[in-house]
Amino acid sequence: MILINGIAEDRINISDRGLQYGDGLFETIVYRNGVLEFLDAHLERLITDCKRLKIPFQDSDDLRADLLTVCQSLRAEAVIKVIITRGSGGRGYFAGSDINPSRIVSSHPLPNYPDSYYQQGVSIRFCQHPISENTVLAGIKHLNRLDQVLARNEWHDTNIVEGLLFNNDGDVIEGTMSNVFIVKSGQLITAKLDKSGVAGIMRAQVSELANVLALPVNEATISQQELLNADEVFICNSVMGILPVSQIVDINKIYAVGTITQQLQNALQKLGK
Amino acid sequence: MILINGIAEDRINISDRGLQYGDGLFETIVYRNGVLEFLDAHLERLITDCKRLKIPFQDSDDLRADLLTVCQSLRAEAVIKVIITRGSGGRGYFAGSDINPSRIVSSHPLPNYPDSYYQQGVSIRFCQHPISENTVLAGIKHLNRLDQVLARNEWHDTNIVEGLLFNNDGDVIEGTMSNVFIVKSGQLITAKLDKSGVAGIMRAQVSELANVLALPVNEATISQQELLNADEVFICNSVMGILPVSQIVDINKIYAVGTITQQLQNALQKLGK
């Protein structure tokens, strides 16, 4: 089921600024066991980031009603994608103040990651495509996703689950669809996202779980060398949860699935996710 | 009139990757006196940049047919916008190889710039929003246009025609919808677009005209100081042509409309544009 501004339809006017300029943002939320996981965190980020993009979407009541309608139509667990655009109209890039944001809610099959991914870890690779840098857009899950599209389409091997994106300094920023954590000497580090990257809901959740488990966690620059020297590496997002990285295929680098990653997986599972 | 893949309709499926990820590019072409201005140059850039984005749009025959249909429906001069997206489908960012690009052709009123803009010049401003940097995407007129949207929405004063975007080093890159040239001691300089910016059709045309007129023209870094020290400054795009800059309002900087700008305006007019 797809709702556009609360109405069941699957097509949008081409004048929508989401299509014209990528002028909007999105969330992907897991619906499982009758619950929209981390819903409040997703909606909070959506509203905060609309504010950063000056999209006047402040009240999520209509969106919550849409989510209820879509979830009630589902017979199985699903991924719910919410897109908010600045709306339809304006004169070129100028939007003015008299257009209303569009909201699009759609449901998609929940990817079925095998248990082995969680237990033995996954293979990932390095992407050649560099990540764009912009301090104002950094962290926002906006609709300007050419970086991720070009990076993700560098490989077709289905055994490779994720590709890492680097900035121009050669520092690791994130995966095409996930955030990255490394563990070194008992300390968790995830990339600082002040110039690029998406500040994922699961990334924030992992940091919270680390705090609960009294594991030190920092946001910092992660050089390629620090990645290679890490004791453990894992990737995470709202849909996959936490996946240990067992291998970086380009460079034949192998990691063991470590105890801190497992502790965090267990803590996440106890939340029922 | 709007054609989507050759069919008259104004709505597109929300699964189109243009909306989902800004996964596409566009051209804006002036239709005037029964002619699509610089059509070959626009189509050539479109196909070249599709190649850079690995969008398999190689043959413009269908697009040329769409353009003919739309232009035949028009009773006045217009701006024709062409959007090519990677198409509908794929699994997340992964597009695979079995989806077909979407082409969207729409007509819009030609903006009516007063004669005074061409003769006395226009007022512009500096934008606070920094331009994103990415060597792979630089130059392409792609659909990831949040930079331009955020920059253009910094001002509402209709007397200000354009805003300039700077990179993180403080160098001038372009306007929100135009390219910039400065003239210093008889030499034309336009910003190097190796890390950011859109390589406009009119920018290339101005360089060609400069060559014909035996005026030296270079692509180089333009610092804010070089901009302020310039003898002449002008902005250009396919729709507006060449507009002298008479004033940068933020800093009360005034420029005279110079002879080189006028020479280029005259040369462009002789092409019938």
pLDDT digits (tens, 9 = 90+) for A16-61: 999 999 999 999 999 999 999 999 999 999 999 999 999 999 889 9
pLDDT band at A221; cut points 50, 70, 90? very high
Identify the domain containing residue A26 by its residue range: 2-109
Measured between CA atoms, how close is B185 to chain A, in angstroms? Answer: 34
Both B128 and B239 in one domain: the answer is yes
Given B174, B176, B190, B232, which residue is catalytic? B174
pLDDT band at B97; cut points 50, 70, 90? confident
First to last CA, chain A: 24
Q: For chain B, what is the domain count?
A: 2
Q: Is residue B133 among the annotated active site residues?
A: no
Q: Region B44-56: what's the mean pLDDT?
A: 97
CB contact under 8 A, A22 and B143: yes
Token pair in block for residue B218:
């270079």
Both A262 and A231 in one domain: the answer is yes
Tens digit of each residue's pLDDT (9 = 90 or more) over A85-142: 999 988 899 998 889 999 999 999 999 999 999 999 999 999 999 999 999 999 999 9
Q: What is the pTM of this model?
A: 0.97
Given A27, A162, A174, A232, which residue is catalytic? A174
Q: Which of B13, B135, B152 sits opposite A11 (nearest CB)?
A: B13
Residue B52: alpha-carbon gap to chain centroid: 18
Both A79 and A179 in one domain: the answer is no
Q: Which helix (H) or strand (E) holds A234?
A: strand A232-237
Given A27, A37, A85, A141, which residue is catalytic? A141
Cα angle B171, B220, B123; round to 5 = 55
CB contact under 8 A, A14 and B21: no
* Contact residues, chain B, for A96 at CB < 8 Å: 156
pLDDT at B220 over 70: yes
Both B148 and B225 in one domain: the answer is yes
Both A137 and A223 in one domain: the answer is yes
Both A119 and A105 in one domain: the answer is no
Domain boundary among B109, B135, B159: B109
Both B175 and B217 in one domain: the answer is yes
Q: Is residue B141 among the annotated active site residues?
A: yes
CA dist., res. B261 & res. B265, Å (int): 6
Q: Region B31-39: what's the mean pLDDT?
A: 96
CB contact under 8 A, A143 and B20: yes
Q: Is residue A51 among the annotated active site residues?
A: no
Both B97 and B175 in one domain: the answer is no
Both A142 and A216 in one domain: the answer is yes
* CATH at residue B29: 3.30.470.10
Both A129 and A229 in one domain: the answer is yes
CB contact under 8 A, B19 and A16: yes
Nearest chain B residue to A104, by CA = B14
Q: What are phi and psi of A197, to 5 degrees?
A: 95, 170
Q: Region A193-203: what's the mean pLDDT?
A: 98
CB contact under 8 A, B12 and A10: no
